Structure 1
């Protein structure tokens, strides 16, 4: 094990620089020789390389060393010989070389002051790469790099070549980790290249690397390899994830990744990110999984998994262009939905069943807006069955609500053209329907807010839509006959009378003032009859307008606000509760009301909507509770329940959610979907210790969808992070194993970045990319 006693010598060297001693200085070709009055010195000439050269010999002691200054370089030693004409210095015994922020100690030295190169024997050095301390998650503020070697050759201003030496950025008397190599090229403030390197932690060799590139740049982001992630999985087998980070500039970078799976094959890909300005940024990621044929055991049966190759693409961008124009795009595409579910450790990515891409451009000028959108969405119901929704393109032109002269009226209008495709895919068979639609409309609004406790808003609008295809009124088949649908819409919303009461609580530590507000509301909606409603092809919610009836939506809002004491105190809402229901003159309207989450799921026609209750409780800024319920009085049951809460402090972040949905599907009136999810993470203020736990549980089927535990511990210059996840797959034939147990582990080192791979391993721990 390497022991770093020379660090103590460097500490003594600092003391030498700060302790004055009686000395005299002599100038020799730009170098000053300092010699204490009590020490010996001799001057003469000596033949060196066939030439007669001036020769100064100086002798000191460990307590009072000899010193030579050459420009910004300083040399200290027990014995030194200086050849001014040749620009050569030789020394032995307790040598200390100082150049800027770098220091080297050695037993023997030969140095060329003209070329600023030299050789140090049995040498040790430190290099400070930052102008100020760099407190990190390891709590280290020491010089950033320490190196040593049997021979240390200085071949440039900041470039060294080490023979049979080592390197570490953990500068302590006993470093937690070291890299030892027979040949090291060290370029300070840039990189270190090691050949045939052995990586050791606490003296235990862990890894052999034929060649290694180690970044030691002053900036926090530097090009280099990141620490690998090791793991094991029931499906993938033993795994190793490696990444190379390329810092292209301060505003853009690229990452290349390779994952090895002992059971199934490998994955590889890359990611590019950029930030052009405060209004322009983007990223793109591509990942390929190349699986070979594999065999698995399941309930005593041998199952073969065929070889296959799949890929996923992700990206998004947003740019602000001249002329008040913004363009944006997104991409979230995969070639095989089953592979996504088998490999992804992130529950959101694993359960995602839609792939999509699109882009848009929008320009705004003087209240007018012009936008264009192209989008593709495909939702999977199985491995090869899906529905397709495509806009190619959709173009809109609109005028925002504008006051009409000096009148109390406000007007708005819009025109939209869309060329839409709706289709289904089953295996390789695709059936689709294309439809062109022109939609235009406008409205007039008359607000009334003269009274502080009462507000009235009345609207009148017209909408006309032309479709190039329609449904046959008799057979219901799609025919190439265009139709025009139009109707008038009248709305009037009344909010109030509003009741409020205030309580003063002087001296209260929580709230010096409490305010309670009760706000009733009612809205009347009347839509004229749509004569050809059955001929309209339904693309989205705007096509479900039926008309010919009066709707009335009524509700009540309760709010509680608190205000602290002090001149800078502001009011904060701690409780908000809204309850509402809608009455329909036409019962069919209850099946297509977007105000209620259960309306589009086969609800029987009714004159009344479910009763909706929404509550948000925020007793403190770091904690909140949200409740949403929909109760159907027709069947006397809650159709939808969602209860969630969160706590967010500097040390603890936790959230949980319970959801239940009961919908009529065929003979089963109550098909219950009950889920509970939760996540919590905790970390010490120093970030040395932390962990996280998350789960998803299906109450209706009494099944754990997944459980995941992540923890990390960082001590001084190194640390460890690990995670365990148990993931239960759906009981479908395309999943050849019922569950996957995954374990990942990675080490963290000061100065070397860590990461979460593209499959979501080790998310939740502090990660850095250097």
Structure 2
């Protein structure tokens, strides 16, 4: 055997021996060491005792554990008398869920205090704080010198706050002085005296990021919100606001949960226009839901404004700026298997006119019974609607009204091919007053009814029949296009009703569907063509069923007035979840042509979500009677001229332009006047630890001769901190869900 081969063989044998004989390899040992701060567990490669009893030195993969704290390092010195521990070399300290690393960690086991030099602290879920010196003052509380606070993981961080001195409570918030805001290595805001931010593992009390901006109407403004986590079931947000050209104001929101069955919310906003006309303005809402018992509930939704234009001046969303009413409703509802009782208080403010034309309902009591078997008459069904309403009004007719409307029907199957359902019913409506005349106010506006206070009763008899059929066929697809089968059905339907009675006239006009019922002889018919699809179900999911295609064609004949009704159509096409088309129209066949139509296209494909639709209506403002089942078939006569028709285009699209960039556009365009009511352009830049949103809103002037209330806003969202900087030019102090109609 050559010398080289012998050497190789010796090395192989030595390697095998080391693996086969673990007792020859160095193994870690564990000791329980009593200290001034209590007993600690230490695992290390080697232990060395220096002096009689005080100093214990552990080296090599050291792990010191006491309670929820763990200290890891290459070398740890522990003084048993004082409880001081000094860790060097890859030193890591786990403080519960938080982690600290540093060149050197000094920790006192007895007091729980210590110092980390050139340290870095990671607090769940994503907060990071570094500093020349991090001093642990107590559980999860640190004092920091020359610190950097961020939630970014890159180096240098995309954004960070540099702090001369700071205090961080990892269960609450971090605050400091001599601060600056940096993007990478560039100081964007080189100095501001103080900084504070909530570390939001859960709801935390503290100041939220301020919102700043400028507006042609309000001038420069600042809004500073403060959030108060009162308890697990309550919180509140108060906002102070200042407007250069208007004055000072604020907003408040209080949310509460009393139990699983009872919760609510209060909102309010006010502004004292000391720089304008000294007027105090505002709006607010109260919402409360209470499920008192099974079948018994109380619901409140109360809204109020100080004046007709405050929403237009201080709200941002189009739905709220164009609100015509501020409505308040209080419901007490009791339901049974076939019956329901609703007690309602309804109060509203009309925002379209300064005249007090509101018609309040205090109270409105309704008892309704769904279609159910008639006792003693097998096969017969009955249903009942009853209401009692007290109407209050400052200008115009007011009084009480009782309405009783029972109906009996008898479905008759026709050899399994169709169902014929004749019905008969009556209707009694009693009014506390009678209309004698109608006059127009001197100041202009809607006509006002004159009444004499004498009761009047309208008695009606209605009878007729419904007939309907259905023919269908199933087509097996076997998984083609993800569908198991198709169901194609054709559903014809005919509706006839005759209404006779007396006292049709001289009645107050309080609610259209009840007070304006004409003598009628109405025949209506429709044909529905429907294709439904069913997906393939699995073991863990049921099959979905949805309409792929639905076409409804309908028309009517008004026998009472010997007049053809309009032709109505409603089409829905949804070949997949990514595309949906819908349209409906009403066409006058007696020569007046197209009366109304709507179209909607919705697209939801990878990277693009959008919808576009049109609204066109030239039908005169008439009341469609309650017995018309498909409103588009009602022919009120000649429609409005084309230049008076309502004609809108509405569209919205959101596109993922790049991995980190989303573009948004939303528009409302008045085609008749060729003017844009409102268009919103937006872009969202989204990254791991920050996001930037830009929005520009272009509006039409609220009134002729006025400047448009356009606005530009931007918001910088830093992960873990919310909206740090937000500019909302022309926006209000609160942006929340629509509360007005």
Shared fold per TM-score greater than 0.5:
yes
- Of residues 632-641 and 209-218 in structure 1, the stretch that sits farther from structure 2 once superposed is 209-218
Specify whether residues 744 and 287 from structure 1 end up closer, same or farther in structure 2 by C-alpha distance, changes over 3 A only.
same
- Cα deviation, residue 617, structure 1: 1.9
Report the number of matched residues: 675
Tell me if the contact between 1:192 and 1:214 (Cα under 8 Å) persists in the aligned partners: yes
- Cα deviation, residue 247, structure 1: 3.8
SS in 1 for 2:407: strand
- Cα deviation, residue 565, structure 1: 6.2
Q: Distance in 2 between matches of 1:157 and 1:445?
A: 75
Specify whether residues 235 and 434 from structure 1 end up closer, same or farther in structure 2 by C-alpha distance, changes over 3 A only.
same
Residue of structure 2 in register with 1:189 after alignment: 171
Tell me if the contact between 1:152 and 1:163 (Cα under 8 Å) persists in the aligned partners: yes
Q: Distance in 1 between matches of 2:50 and 2:165?
A: 39
- Cα deviation, residue 230, structure 1: 4.2
Residue of structure 2 in register with 1:124 after alignment: 119
- CA deviation vs aligned residue, 1:275-314 (integer Å, no higher than 9, x gap): 56665443321112333446xxxxxxxxxxx453321113
SS in 2 for 1:529: strand
RMSD: 3.7
- Cα deviation, residue 525, structure 1: 0.9
- CA deviation vs aligned residue, 1:251-289 (integer Å, no higher than 9, x gap): 543333344444444542022334566654433211123
- CA deviation vs aligned residue, 1:480-517 (integer Å, no higher than 9, x gap): 11112211111211113x44455555674365654443
Residue of structure 2 in register with 1:392 after alignment: 362
Q: What TM-score results when the alignment is normalised by the length of structure 2?
A: 0.81
Superposed counterparts of 1:313-352, under 5 Å: 313-352=284-323
SS in 1 for 2:357: strand
**What is the aligned counterpart of 2:676 among 704, 729, 736?**
704
Superposed counterparts of 1:755-770, under 5 Å: 759=731
- CA deviation vs aligned residue, 1:359-402 (integer Å, no higher than 9, x gap): 111112353322200001333334x3463121000112333332
Residue of structure 1 in register with 2:201 after alignment: 218
**What is the aligned counterpart of 1:624 among 561, 564, 580?**
580
Q: Distance in 1 between matches of 2:555 and 2:585?
A: 12
**What is the aligned counterpart of 2:373 among 403, 421, 425?**
403
Tell me if the contact between 1:251 and 1:276 (Cα under 8 Å) persists in the aligned partners: yes
- Cα deviation, residue 578, structure 1: 2.0
Specify whether residues 248 and 610 from structure 1 end up closer, same or farther in structure 2 by C-alpha distance, changes over 3 A only.
farther
Superposed counterparts of 1:608-619, under 5 Å: 608-619=564-575
- Cα deviation, residue 658, structure 1: 0.6
Tell me if the contact between 1:33 and 1:68 (Cα under 8 Å) persists in the aligned partners: yes
Tell me if the contact between 1:332 and 1:355 (Cα under 8 Å) persists in the aligned partners: yes
Tell me if the contact between 1:227 and 1:747 (Cα under 8 Å) persists in the aligned partners: no
Residue of structure 2 in register with 1:56 after alignment: 55
Residue of structure 2 in register with 1:42 after alignment: 50
Specify whether residues 660 and 743 from structure 1 end up closer, same or farther in structure 2 by C-alpha distance, changes over 3 A only.
same
Tell me if the contact between 1:526 and 1:547 (Cα under 8 Å) persists in the aligned partners: no
- Cα deviation, residue 191, structure 1: 2.4
- Cα deviation, residue 74, structure 1: 4.7
Q: Distance in 1 between matches of 2:589 and 2:577?
A: 36
- Cα deviation, residue 217, structure 1: 4.3
Specify whether residues 650 and 278 from structure 1 end up closer, same or farther in structure 2 by C-alpha distance, changes over 3 A only.
farther
- Of residues 478-487 and 162-171 in structure 1, the stretch that sits farther from structure 2 once superposed is 162-171
Residue of structure 1 in register with 2:147 after alignment: 165
Residue of structure 2 in register with 1:360 after alignment: 331
- Cα deviation, residue 325, structure 1: 0.3
SS in 2 for 1:189: coil
SS in 2 for 1:629: strand
Residue of structure 1 in register with 2:550 after alignment: 576
- Cα deviation, residue 81, structure 1: 5.2
Residue of structure 2 in register with 1:152 after alignment: 134
- Cα deviation, residue 25, structure 1: 5.2
Q: Distance in 1 between matches of 2:280 and 2:308?
A: 12
Specify whether residues 451 and 199 from structure 1 end up closer, same or farther in structure 2 by C-alpha distance, changes over 3 A only.
farther
- CA deviation vs aligned residue, 1:190-210 (integer Å, no higher than 9, x gap): 322334433333242437555
SS in 1 for 2:154: coil
Tell me if the contact between 1:536 and 1:543 (Cα under 8 Å) persists in the aligned partners: no
SS in 2 for 1:538: coil
Specify whether residues 43 and 318 from structure 1 end up closer, same or farther in structure 2 by C-alpha distance, changes over 3 A only.
same
Q: Distance in 1 between matches of 2:533 and 2:285?
A: 44
Specify whether residues 313 and 148 from structure 1 end up closer, same or farther in structure 2 by C-alpha distance, changes over 3 A only.
same
Tell me if the contact between 1:378 and 1:389 (Cα under 8 Å) persists in the aligned partners: no
- CA deviation vs aligned residue, 1:631-673 (integer Å, no higher than 9, x gap): 2234422121211122245743211111112245999744222
Residue of structure 1 in register with 2:235 after alignment: 253
Residue of structure 2 in register with 1:656 after alignment: 612
- CA deviation vs aligned residue, 1:550-607 (integer Å, no higher than 9, x gap): 22122222222344567875653222222223323434xxxxxxxxxxxxxxxxxx73
Q: Distance in 2 between matches of 1:465 and 1:421?
A: 18
Tell me if the contact between 1:258 and 1:267 (Cα under 8 Å) persists in the aligned partners: yes
- CA deviation vs aligned residue, 1:222-264 (integer Å, no higher than 9, x gap): 4444444444433334444443334445554333334444444
Specify whether residues 66 and 655 from structure 1 end up closer, same or farther in structure 2 by C-alpha distance, changes over 3 A only.
closer
Q: Distance in 1 between matches of 2:64 and 2:478?
A: 74
Residue of structure 2 in register with 1:715 after alignment: 687
- Cα deviation, residue 689, structure 1: 3.3
Superposed counterparts of 1:502-651, under 5 Å: 508-509=480-481, 513-530=485-502, 532-563=503-534, 571-587=545-561, 607-648=563-604, 651=607
Specify whether residues 207 and 653 from structure 1 end up closer, same or farther in structure 2 by C-alpha distance, changes over 3 A only.
farther
Tell me if the contact between 2:309 and 2:351 (Cα under 8 Å) persists in the aligned partners: no
- Cα deviation, residue 345, structure 1: 2.5
Q: Distance in 1 between matches of 2:496 and 2:44?
A: 101
Q: Distance in 2 between matches of 1:667 and 1:26?
A: 94
Specify whether residues 657 and 385 from structure 1 end up closer, same or farther in structure 2 by C-alpha distance, changes over 3 A only.
farther
Q: Distance in 2 between matches of 1:166 and 1:732?
A: 54
- Of residues 201-210 and 152-161 in structure 1, the stretch that sits farther from structure 2 once superposed is 201-210
Specify whether residues 585 and 208 from structure 1 end up closer, same or farther in structure 2 by C-alpha distance, changes over 3 A only.
farther
Q: Distance in 1 between matches of 2:30 and 2:326?
A: 80
Tell me if the contact between 2:371 and 2:382 (Cα under 8 Å) persists in the aligned partners: yes
- Of residues 409-418 and 230-239 in structure 1, the stretch that sits farther from structure 2 once superposed is 230-239
Q: Distance in 1 between matches of 2:713 and 2:286?
A: 26
Gaps of 5+ in 2: 1-24, 440-448, 622-637, 737-741
- Of residues 675-684 and 227-236 in structure 1, the stretch that sits farther from structure 2 once superposed is 227-236
Q: Distance in 1 between matches of 2:639 and 2:386?
A: 44
**What is the aligned counterpart of 2:388 among 417, 420, 438?**
417
SS in 2 for 1:534: coil
Specify whether residues 119 and 492 from structure 1 end up closer, same or farther in structure 2 by C-alpha distance, changes over 3 A only.
same
Q: Distance in 1 between matches of 2:657 and 2:639?
A: 54
Specify whether residues 641 and 422 from structure 1 end up closer, same or farther in structure 2 by C-alpha distance, changes over 3 A only.
farther
**What is the aligned counterpart of 1:467 among 408, 418, 431?**
431
Residue of structure 2 in register with 1:51 after alignment: none
- Of residues 336-345 and 94-103 in structure 1, the stretch that sits farther from structure 2 once superposed is 94-103
- Cα deviation, residue 549, structure 1: 4.2
- Cα deviation, residue 33, structure 1: 6.6
Tell me if the contact between 1:457 and 1:494 (Cα under 8 Å) persists in the aligned partners: yes
Tell me if the contact between 2:210 and 2:223 (Cα under 8 Å) persists in the aligned partners: yes
Q: Distance in 2 between matches of 1:379 and 1:668?
A: 26
Tell me if the contact between 1:551 and 1:582 (Cα under 8 Å) persists in the aligned partners: yes
Q: Distance in 2 between matches of 1:111 and 1:59?
A: 15
Q: Distance in 2 between matches of 1:368 and 1:643?
A: 38
- CA deviation vs aligned residue, 1:510-565 (integer Å, no higher than 9, x gap): 656544433322222111222x2222112112444555442212222222234456
SS in 2 for 1:477: strand
